[in-house]
Structure formats: structure tokens, C-alpha cells
Amino acid sequence: MANPMFVNDERMVEMIFDYCRQRLALDPVALDFGGTRESFDEVLSGLIGESGNDPDAVLALFSDHLATAVVSCDSPRFLAFIPAAPTKAALLFDMIVSCSSLQGTSWLEAAGAVAAENQVLEFLAELAGLPPGAGGCFVSGGSIANLSALVVARDTAALRRGAAPRRPRIAVSEEAHASVEKALRILSVEPFVVPSVDHRLTGDALAAALERDDHPDDVIGVVATAGTTNAGIVDDLTGISAVARQRALWFHIDAAYGGPGLFTPLVRDRYAGIENADSFVIDPHKWLYAPFDCAALVYRQPALAKAVHAQEASYLDVIHDEDNPVWNPSDYAVHLTRRARGLPLWFSLAVHGAGAYRDAVETVLRTAWASAELITATPHLELVREPELSIVLFRRRGWSASDYDDWSVRLLAQQVGFVTPTSWEGETVARLAFLHPGTTLTMVEEILATMA
């Protein structure tokens, strides 16, 4: 008799599809809450053992006790960290990727999936102004993308500069994302920290810091951020790229959050210089409305990345044919087996067109900027700085750190919003991260009203 796990159970199919249908139809999605350890111990106790359970019961347990204990990052009232707002098309196609076991490791195994993913990567490369031939792969997130790009920066340094660095260092500002610092630690590459100018890394500051240093030749690369996660600030990409070219530095741009600003003339000029990147990352699971987990990693010269990342093993020889080179996404990052995670975005972009994405990004920017005006017009509130992109930092006059913490807990408890404080120049402040086109100014007013 066939193993029951591999028999298609129509009843279970209906049950799961019904659940998905209902979840997709929620408008708006409820914020929901987190949970406590104890509450899960009780519902999960004894669930996994020698014999199984009725799928209805397990799904009910999930939907009643677990799903509601996850703050919905796709709620329009989720304004903490970086929210998410996958398109329906992308979510639905994600089910196809799952149900078809679509992987995207090598051309040999998955040419069709890889061709579609590459179409999106080429589109993003062109949007950034990189020359034809640029390419890369989709990885799970900005963190892995940053790590993968910096491995290439390190391992191609000798080739690029004619000599191996004594002790490789990579220039960053204090505003670089934590994952960059972590990547450097993993790589045993020291950060060369350049003081930022009003929280921006500039070409002049980089040049001056190199000038002052005793061993500037040890600095082999620079990481710029196009949209800091804390405040949405775009570094001086043009200035940095000029220094990078002059000194043969690898120029990596972390646009994990901010990259989608490239879609709109409202902010496109802030990204001038991105066309000079040796590598960049944009997280479609953030502001390009793709489901988790999806980060686009693009190299100007993918061959350099391939020389560093391709895995050699006898059983893998068949995917690397020297005489007839093919595109294996596994060759461009620190991974081998991978889900064809670029396909949900591919489907949604193909269905809706880039214009719909531009509209969504513009809607979000306008809501963020209108919220900043609202804050400025409210006497007890004060804007920390004018938002460049869609992140708004502001303070409630007279509040201490614990006031912000209490307020944040209260907002979630009342399901008005999920907003968490951050710190700015040593001070605790409030932070709104906009990304969902369904977030309205009325919702923002409701949130601000709780700070009276």
C-alpha cells in the first residue's frame, strides 16, 4: 500500500486552500499579537509523537493559537522595523512554487525557473543603470546578499589591485546595516569606519579618511547604503563611486530596503552613482512586494562572483560545462540548493507591470511625507529630520525612553498600530516605517492621537 503521506488527500487540499482563500481575502489584515512561551507549551504539548493527528485539528490549532500570535507584518498598521506587503499575485504564485517543488539551483535542473528569475534580475540591473551582462541571483535576504557580495570583494582584491592586501579592510559608515558588520566579522575583514556627515557616507569623507590612514592600500572595498534601515538615508553614491574607482575598491551598495525608490522620479536622483556599483542588493520581500524570503543580488561582472562562489564537487561537475557555460544561480552566492524564490516577483511584475509598482512606491512616499507634515503641524510632536524615503523619525516632546516603550505596548494591545521606538543620536525617538500602500493618513492620525 502506498505511504499515506504521498497520496493526494482532496479533503486536506480543500481545507488548506480554503484557509489560504480566507487569508488572502482579509482586508485589512488584523495586526494580531505576539504570545508568551507558556501559552504555546500548553497547546503544542504532545502534538508530535509516534502517530499523527487529524489534519483539521492541527490546522485549527495553528489558526486559533499560533497564527494569531504572529504580528501580521502585512497589516497596514504595521509600521515597525521594515513591514511587508506582498501582492496577491506574488502570494498566489508562491503557492505554485511550493506545490511544484520549484527549485532554482542550476540551469541543468531548472532552466525555465532560472530564465524567469534572470529576467527580473536584468530588469533591476537596468533600472539601476548597470551595463548589459550584469546579473546574479536571488538569495534569502539582504544579510546573505551582503555576505555573498563581500566574499567576492575580498577574494578578488588581489586580482583587482595587482597585489594582495596585507590585512584587508572594507570601508563602512556607522550607519551601515548590522548585517554588514556581521559579514565582515565572518570574513575576518576589518571594518574601516568612515565618519559620516549628517548620517551620510560621502565620497569626501571616505577620501579624507583614506588620506589620514597609514595603510590605505589595505582598504579593498566600500559599502554604501541606499536607504538606511533606521532613517531611510541614501549615501553619496556618486562621490563614493569616484573614490572607489580611483582606489580600485569594490563598491557594494546595500539597497535592501531603499532600492525600490529607483522606480520613481520622486526620488530617483538620490540614487545617482548606483550605476557604478560592483554589486548591489535589493530585498523584494521588503518594498518590492514579494513574499519572504527574497533578496536580489546583482553583480556588474558576474564572472568574478562565479569564480569565487562556484562549488566544486565530483557530483556537481555536470552542472559546470566549461565549453558550454550556463547560468547556475548557485554560482553567485554562499548557497547551493535554493528555492526558485524570485518567481513570485517575476509573476507579479509580469502581471501588473512596473508602472503599478511605481504607483505603489509613490503612494507610500506620499503617505510618509504627509505624515511628516502632520507631525510638524502638531505642537507636542517634532520631526527629527525630513524623511528622504519612507521612514519618519519624530519625538514626543517631554517623553522619556520608557514613555515610548509603554506607548508602543499600548498601541499594539489596542491594535491601533505596531510601532516601536528607535534611537537617534543617543535619544529614544518614535519611528514610522511606511511600505504598505494601504496605510492611510487616517491610520497615522489615530496613532499620533495616542501621543497627546
Residues at the contact surface with ligand PLP, assessed by CB under 6 A: 82, 141-143, 177, 179, 225, 229, 254, 256-257, 283, 295
Exposed e or buried b per residue across 155-173, where buried means at least 16 C-beta atoms within 10 angstroms of its C-beta: bbbeeeeeeebeebbbbbb
Residue 236 CB, shortest distance to ligand PLP, in Å, is 16
Indicate the residue among 291 and 451 with the shorter CB distance to ligand PLP.
291
CB of 172 to ligand PLP, least distance (A): 12
SS3 call for 54? coil
Dist CA 100 CA 94 (whole Å):
10
Structure-block grid coordinates of residue 450: 495616542
User: Shortest distance, CB of residue 16 to ligand PLP, whole angstroms?
Assistant: 27
Q: How many CB atoms lie within 10 A of CB 70?
A: 11
DSSP label of 195: P
Overall residue count recorded for the chain in this entry: 452
User: Looking at beta carbons only, is 179 or 378 nearer to ligand PLP?
Assistant: 179
Cβ atoms of residues 378 and 448 within 8 Å: yes
Angle formed at CA 296 by CA 76 and CA 265, multiple of 5 degrees: 65
Shortest CB 252 distance to ligand PLP, Å: 11
C-alpha cell at 394: 519624530
Furthest-apart CA atoms within the chain: distance in Å: 75
CB 287 within 8 A of CB 259: yes
79: nearest Cα among 422, 449, 427 = 422
* End-to-end C-alpha distance for the chain, whole angstroms: 68
- Tell me whether residue 286 or residue 309 sits nearer to ligand PLP (CB atom): 286
The CB-of-36 to ligand PLP minimum distance in angstroms stands at: 25
Asked if omega into 28 is within 30° of 0 (cis), the reply is: yes
Q: How far is the CB of 257 from ligand PLP (least distance, A)?
A: 3
Shortest Å distance, C-beta 112 to ligand PLP:
26
Q: How far is CA 442 from the centre of its chain?
A: 27
- Give least dist CB 95 to ligand PLP, A: 22
Amino acid at 52: G
CA triple 252-258-259, angle to 5 deg: 65
Shortest gap between Cβ of 235 and ligand PLP (angstroms)?
A: 11
Residue placing its CB nearer to ligand PLP in the complex, 137 or 451 = 137
Name every residue whose Cβ is closer than 8 Å to that of residue 413 and which is 6 or more positions away in sequence.
Answer: 33
82 versus 184: smaller Cβ distance to ligand PLP: 82
Nearer to ligand PLP, 234 or 451 (CB): 234
CB nearer to ligand PLP: pick between 33 and 292: 292
Q: Which is nearer to ligand PLP, 183 or 308 (CB)?
A: 183
Residue among 19 and 292 whose Cβ is closer to ligand PLP: 292
Q: Do the Cβ atoms of 408 and 421 come closer than 8 Å?
A: yes
